Every structure is written in C-alpha cells, then in structure tokens.
Amino acid sequence: MTLTNPSEYKAALRRLDALVAAGFEGNEALEAEFRELVVAIDAYEDQLGLMPIPTLPATLADMIELKRQQMRLKQKELAELLEVPAGRLSQILSGKRRVTLDLAKKLYERLGISPEFILKKA
C-alpha cells in the first residue's frame, strides 16, 4: 500500500483509528492490515518530512534544560530568574542536588513546568 495524497493519508489514519477502537488483536487479517497501514503512514510522513512528535524529557533536570533553551537563556540568566545561586542550579542540573519546595514552585510559576511532572521527577 502506498499513500500518494492527503486524502488517502487521512483515510488511512481514520482506518487505523477504527482498527484500534475495534480491537484488532487476535485477528490475523486485521493485524496484517494494521501493520500495512502503519508502514504506509510512516512512509508518507517521511516523504513529507514531518517531524515525529517529541517526547517529554525523562528527568526534571532535562526539562529545566529544555525550558532554558526554549527561552534562550544562559544558565546564569536562568539562575537569576529562579532566584537561586548559579552554582546551586548547576548542581541541580547535574543531579548532585535535589529541588526544594520553593524552587519547585518557581519552576511551575516561571518556567511553566507542570506540578505533576515536578512531583514525579523530583
């Protein structure tokens, strides 16, 4: 199967959603169709140059670093924004120091990191 235009692509996505919703597992014919659709969709997206959906960083330090880069801040500027010494921020980013409750609040308020993420990864 080869997808050549946006309407075929949309139809393939709808069919893929329908297969997932119907529960295709256990039915060899539907499983084969599922695999074929996934390959065709991936090939079409590659042809278009679509970027894969990025995943969230695995650690709080990685999330802080991502936010720093998105805001185009130097590490020293980020430390000033968060009102922590630059050395302490460096230790947090390297995993040598834990985040305090006060800093967690600032990460939420000033960088927009969700409280759930902070609690799970801190």
Compute the average pLDDT of residues 50-64. 80
Residues 29 and 73 in one domain: no
How many residues appear in the chain?
Answer: 122
Say if residue 33's pLDDT is above 80: yes
Q: pTM score, two decimals?
A: 0.57
Same domain, 64 and 117: yes
Residues 24 and 68 in one domain: no
**pLDDT at residue 50 in the model:** 62
* Structural domain span for residue 75: 60-121
Q: With beta carbons less than 8 A apart as the criterion, state whether 3 and 12 touch.
A: yes
Same-domain status, 72 and 23: no
> Does residue 1 lie within any of the structural domains?
no
> What tens digit of pLDDT does each residue of 98-120 get?
999 999 999 999 999 999 999 99
The pLDDT > 90 percentage for the chain reads 60
Identify whether residues 64 and 109 lie together within a single domain: yes
How many domains would you assign to the chain?
2
Angstrom distance (rounded) from CA 114 to CA 35: 35
- Nearest-5° angle of CA 113, CA 118, CA 119? 150
The pLDDT score that the predictor gives to residue 49 is: 75
Instruction: Specify whether 39 is located in the same domain as 67.
Output: no
At 65, which helix (H) or strand (E)?
A: helix 60-70
Give the CATH number for residue 112: 1.10.260.40
Handedness of CA 49, 6, 53, 68 (dihedral sign): positive
40 and 67 inside one domain: no
Q: Are residues 44 and 74 in the same domain?
A: no
